[in-house]
Amino acid sequence: MTNTQVTLVQIDNYGPWTVTPEPRREADLQTLQSRLYADVSQFVGARDGYVFFTRFDNMIAVTNGLDLDDHRLLQESVGNRYPVSLSLGVAADPDPVEALSEATELVQDAGSAQDRNRREILGGEVAEGTGGEDVGIAHFDVNDATGEYTDELNAFDSFIEIEQAYAELMRYMRTAHRSLSFFVGGDNIIAVCPELGEDAYHDAIAHVEEDVGVALKVGVGSGSSAHAAGMDAKHALEICRAEETRIEFSR
Amino acid sequence: MTNTQVTLVQIDNYGPWTVTPEPRREADLQTLQSRLYADVSQFVGARDGYVFFTRFDNMIAVTNGLDLDDHRLLQESVGNRYPVSLSLGVAADPDPVEALSEATELVQDAGSAQDRNRREILGGEVAEGTGGEDVGIAHFDVNDATGEYTDELNAFDSFIEIEQAYAELMRYMRTAHRSLSFFVGGDNIIAVCPELGEDAYHDAIAHVEEDVGVALKVGVGSGSSAHAAGMDAKHALEICRAEETRIEFSR
Amino acid sequence: MTNTQVTLVQIDNYGPWTVTPEPRREADLQTLQSRLYADVSQFVGARDGYVFFTRFDNMIAVTNGLDLDDHRLLQESVGNRYPVSLSLGVAADPDPVEALSEATELVQDAGSAQDRNRREILGGEVAEGTGGEDVGIAHFDVNDATGEYTDELNAFDSFIEIEQAYAELMRYMRTAHRSLSFFVGGDNIIAVCPELGEDAYHDAIAHVEEDVGVALKVGVGSGSSAHAAGMDAKHALEICRAEETRIEFSR
Amino acid sequence: MTNTQVTLVQIDNYGPWTVTPEPRREADLQTLQSRLYADVSQFVGARDGYVFFTRFDNMIAVTNGLDLDDHRLLQESVGNRYPVSLSLGVAADPDPVEALSEATELVQDAGSAQDRNRREILGGEVAEGTGGEDVGIAHFDVNDATGEYTDELNAFDSFIEIEQAYAELMRYMRTAHRSLSFFVGGDNIIAVCPELGEDAYHDAIAHVEEDVGVALKVGVGSGSSAHAAGMDAKHALEICRAEETRIEFSR
């Protein structure tokens, strides 16, 4: 059984900051957001977690293996180097959606995302590592995205296809299979999942193909950390590529 | 009449690189992609252009005011500092979709995105600046996103709402109004548009609200560069906020 | 005759900030400083200028070709993305030392580097580009540094040799030849010079060799920008390497 | 008794890379070097170590608390994100100079810094943490540097004073007191020291004042990591500032 530790990373009072005293240059906001994400990703990634950029002002991370001191250090380090600060909520649960809900509440309960007096909240409890398969990761990509889309359509029309597939998959995996799915660039989507059988993945892929006409394949892995599970999933996806299959589980 | 100059920025042979010789750590790929995007954004933004991260391996930029030497310098500088290289296609047209199509073809004609021998393509022609309103930018956001979603739902369910709105808006603005719309973080979507009247924006907002139940508002600006038009649009959006209107044009 | 435009880049009130309310983590300060330098270097470098990290809280740049609007944009962009702000003084003179003195005074006259009310000063006048040889750059390195030092001594003792050579060269070039010399990493020192003949470089190299026993060689270039002059100097230094000479002028 | 673990971080074959096939833009090299340093500093700093930029192509780190797996991960992550790779040598010894010498030899024995076939060496042994005072840090700065230099002299002449003080201190602390001293920006020098009494610091400060006329003060700390010792030293230096003393030991 999985026991996924999820961290909500929320920039404090970011919306108002972006337009105070005047709207700031968009290129600077984009640079700030993407570099902040990169730094959080390096910090968490070096401890075998995953961070997803999501909305950038609200990032979602899988942080099994990071304790509250690690979270505190991340918060301090960002506070030392950026003009904005972070609030962090942490929770663990066999159900990733439930973990995220608890992590979100910890931050929401301390005040609004646009409350200028709510700063650098740090709340929650970390998972006791079981050393077992606490995290499940499914790595999807689009079948022959380069041949079907990138090399054929204009770059926006390719992106529309991928985006429609993502929007549908994220919604379906959330409601039907209690999984959190994130677009991670290219034609890749990574989902944080509870234990699911092959039929669940078959169902999700079929649903997206019927609904928006985009063919996905998926490699599934599990492990004691997001990185361990994710590498398993990547290798399983390589097997899909090599053997032209649509669903592979690691081992 | 607009004359939007669009640049397609494509990482050469990126997909194969990410899994050679073995799949690379996801956190490193995420860091690499987002920092590369940040650098391109700073370079183009300092010349008053906009870059959208799109798929990260394919970024779309509005580059009025940048000439081919500027593009060449960006390419050289990235080549000096990253383990990957960029191909760039540039084209200008009153219709942003047409401009992007031409820019994409310039890159596609030189080889596949996964052709290991296609490197650092630079092609296209830049717009003669007219000094007029060459670029149209519409800046959308979600009405009371913080109160309705961020402070109420868990962070993923908030994101689902925004993502569904984006997926629908991007598709509708592309097909009905020949505009390129990009999610830029938070609850913000920036669209690059030809000259459109208020009815077009009204139509798009109504369509999204009917289709996915998310209420958007929009500020619209125009100018000689993406930055100039975008700042107009941001100021117009501030007026929407202050006066609780849904569509504002600058001036 | 050269006409070097020099910009002093000073972080506002940095010293006090680093210890308020408590001393901040050294690793964060080092990261902040070096990334800020990198960003300033990219901004100025993309306009064919050079920036030297110097003390990091005070950086010195050669900015021929950048006008005051460029400086203002740099200041705004840094202010949007960092927890610290920059003051900038700009001046041009045939004598680089004189240009720097004027640039420094513009900042000093507005208040102390540790005055918490002095923020984002921007002062000075930019050079009228002559299109001629406004900038002179000399690129020094240590003769066979790898064979003599890096591969032989421990890494600190190698560094001592290079550092002693730099400390002596910087002082001597400043007083004897009105040049500003900067260590730029490895075994490289770049000097911003007025027009100097071969005898001046011969004198400086001989002085360092006598005083601290380190053998330097130098390539000298000139051009309308730091980049143009610096590339000339690099190519001249390559000739020194190929032909085992100690001083080469470009062309 | 201290037991300092030192890591030599050497960029593989960097010198030749910077001029192949042609000399690369200086601004790009500066950006690459300083960002690479920042990344190494964040990685090591998040594990309570210190990294000094030194020559940039050869960085010296105090890495008590980091094991070989941590070093391997740093190497892999840099290899995934930069066009250059790192070799690492690690050693621990009560004498920091001896530790560095051993760390350097591990890298040198595997080949020259300019050997194109020597890549990503990782060698050495890590210290068994004693939980005691394994690291000694002395944090020096220049007495009233802002009042005496920064606000009075031009920015280069201020820098000359600080640089002369650094060059003399680094050499003297190395030979007389077996310490490794590093300029860290502003008017700050951080030394990694074995156990030294107050007389040693008095001697060093007096030596620099006599030799180059610059007055230093110093805070001294010790701890189980560079960060712990360094924070002690920073607090001790704050006491020097408050009480106008020249040498303070923590506690």
pLDDT value at position B220? 98
* Position A129 in a domain: no
pLDDT digits (tens, 9 = 90+) for D26-84: 999 999 999 999 999 999 999 999 999 999 999 999 999 999 999 999 999 999 999 99
> How close A235 gets to chain B, by Cα (Å)?
7
On whether any CB of chain A is under 8 Å from the CB of C80, the answer is yes
Q: What is the mean pLDDT of residues D93-117?
A: 96
**Domain of A228: which CATH number?**
3.30.70.270
pLDDT, mean of residues A5-24: 97
> C233 falls in which pLDDT band (50, 70, 90)?
very high
Q: Are residues B110 and B178 in the same domain?
A: no
Q: Are residues A60 and A85 in the same domain?
A: yes
Mind listing the pLDDT tens digit for each residue in B65-121? 999 999 999 999 999 999 999 999 999 999 999 999 999 999 999 999 999 999 999
User: Would you say residue D14 has pLDDT above 80?
Assistant: yes
**Confidence band of C244 (pLDDT split at 50, 70, 90):** very high
Mean pLDDT of chain C: 97
Q: Are residues B214 and B144 in the same domain?
A: yes
The phi, psi pair for D219, rounded to 5°, reads -110, 135
Whole-angstrom distance, CA of residue D144 vs CA of residue C241: 44
Is B77 at the interface with chain D, CB within 8 A? yes
Asked whether residue B144 falls in the same domain as residue B188, the answer is yes
Which positions in chain D touch C174 (Cβ < 8 Å)? Answer: 156-157, 160
Residue B146 touches partner A, C-beta closer than 8 Å: yes
- Residue in D42, D105, D156 closest to C180 by CB: D156
Calculate mean pLDDT across residues B141-145. Answer: 95
Determine, yes or no, domain membership for C82: yes
Residue of B14, B137, B150 to mutate when probing chain A, most A C-beta within 10 A:
B150
Q: Note whether B93 and B29 are same-domain residues.
A: yes
Neighbours of chain D (3+ CB pairs under 8 A): A, B, C
For chain A, the DSSP string reads ---EEEEEEEETTHHHHHTSSSPPPHHHHHHHHHHHHHHHHHHHHTTT-EEE-TTSSEEEEE-TT--HHHHHHHHHHHHHHSSS-EEEEEEEESSHHHHHHHHHHHHHTT--TT-TT----EEE-PPPP-SS--EEEEEEEETTHIIIIITTS-HHHHHHHHHHHHHHHHHHHHHHH--EEEE-STTEEEEEESS--HHHHHHHHHHHHHHH---EEEEEEEESSHHHHHHHHHHHHHHHHHHT-SEEE--
Residue A130 lies in a domain: no
Domain total in chain A: 2
Residue-wise burial string across A74-97, b where 16 or more C-beta atoms lie within 10 A, e elsewhere? bbbbbbbbbebbbbbbbbbbebbb
pLDDT of D128: 85
Residue A109's domain comprises 4-124
Inform me whether the C-beta atom of residue D82 falls under 8 Å from chain B C-beta atoms.
Answer: yes
Residue A87 and residue A116 share a domain: yes
Q: Which of A27, A77, A83 sits opposite C28 (nearest CB)?
A: A77
Nearest neighbour of B77 by CB, restricted to D25, D35, D83:
D25
How confident is the model over B28-52, as a mean pLDDT? 98
Whether residues A186 and A85 share a domain: the answer is: no
pLDDT at B131: 78
pLDDT at D196 over 80: yes
Q: Reply yes or no on whether the pLDDT at A98 is more than 90.
A: yes
pLDDT over 90 percentage in chain A: 96
Distance from CA of B131 to the nearest CA of C (A): 18
Decide if pLDDT at A128 tops 90. Answer: no
With contacts defined as CB-CB under 8 Å, which chain A residues touch C29?
80
Give how far D72 is from chain A: nearest CA, Å.
11
Whether D130 is covered by a domain: the verdict is no
User: Would you place residue B55 in the very low, low, confident or very high pLDDT band (cuts 50, 70, 90)?
Assistant: very high
Can you tell me the distance from the alpha carbon of C69 to that of C67, in angstroms, rounded to the nearest whole number?
Answer: 5
| pLDDT tens string C16-59 | 999 999 999 999 999 999 999 999 999 999 999 999 999 999 99
Cβ of D27 within 8 Å of Cβ of C156? The answer is: no
- C159/D41 touch (CB, cutoff 8 Å), yes or no: no
Q: Tell me, what's the pLDDT at A241?
A: 96
Domain stops at, among A80, A99, A124: A124
Query: Of A165-169, B125-129, C124-128, D214-218, which gets the smallest average pLDDT?
Result: B125-129
Predicted local distance difference test score (pLDDT) of residue C240:
97
Q: Is A182 part of a structural domain of the chain?
A: yes
Q: Which tens digits make up the pLDDT trace of A198-248?
A: 999 999 999 999 999 999 999 999 999 999 999 999 999 999 999 999 999
- Domain boundary among the residues C124, C151, C174 is at C124
Q: Tell me: the pLDDT tens digits for C189-221?
A: 999 999 999 999 999 999 999 999 999 999 999
Contacts of B82 in chain D (CB under 8 A): 81-83
Q: Is residue B21 exposed (0-12), middle (13-18) or buried (19+ Cβ within 10 Å)?
A: exposed
Closest CA to D250 of D224, D226, D225, D218: D218
- Does any domain span residue C129? no
B interface mutation test: which of A24, A55, A248 has the most B CBs within 10 A? A55
What's the whole-number average pLDDT of chain B? 97
**Residue C8 included in any domain:** yes
Contacts of C190 in chain D (CB under 8 A): 26
**Torsional class of B48: left (φ above 0), alpha (ψ -120 to 50), beta (otherwise):** left
Q: Based on the fold, state whether residues B231 and B150 are members of the same structural domain.
A: yes
CATH number for the domain including A71? 3.30.70.1230
- Contact of D2 with chain C, judged by CB distance below 8 Å, is answered with no
- Find the mean pLDDT for residues D183-190: 98
Asked if residue D29 lies in contact with residue C37, where contact means CB atoms within 8 angstroms, the answer is no
B146 has a chain C CB within 8 A of its CB: no
- CA-closest candidate to residue D92, choices D7, D206, D184: D7
State yes or no: pLDDT of C98 exceeds 80. yes
Q: Check whether residue A156 and residue A97 sit in a common domain.
A: no
Q: How far is B72 from chain C (nearest CA, A)?
A: 11
Do C120 and C147 fall into the same domain? no
Confidence check: pLDDT of B1 > 80: yes
Q: Which residues contact C243 (CB under 8 A, 6 or more apart)?
A: none
Is the CB of B41 inside 8 Å of chain C's CB atoms?
Answer: no
Q: Show residues of chain D in contact with C51, CB under 8 Å.
A: 27, 30
Q: Cα distance from A27 to chain C (closest Cα, Å)?
A: 9
Residue C251 pLDDT = 72
Residue A161 has pLDDT above 90, yes or no: yes
Asked whether residue B130 is domain-assigned, the answer is: no
Structure ipTM: 0.97
Task: Examine the fold and report which residue of D124, D159, D194 is the final residue of a domain before the chain moves on.
Answer: D124
Quick check: C237 pLDDT over 90?
Answer: yes
User: Do residues C109 and C44 both lie within one domain?
Assistant: yes
Same domain for B36 and B141? no
**pLDDT of amino acid A130:** 78
Checking if the pLDDT of C130 tops 90, the result is no
For D75, the closest chain A residue by CA position comes to A46
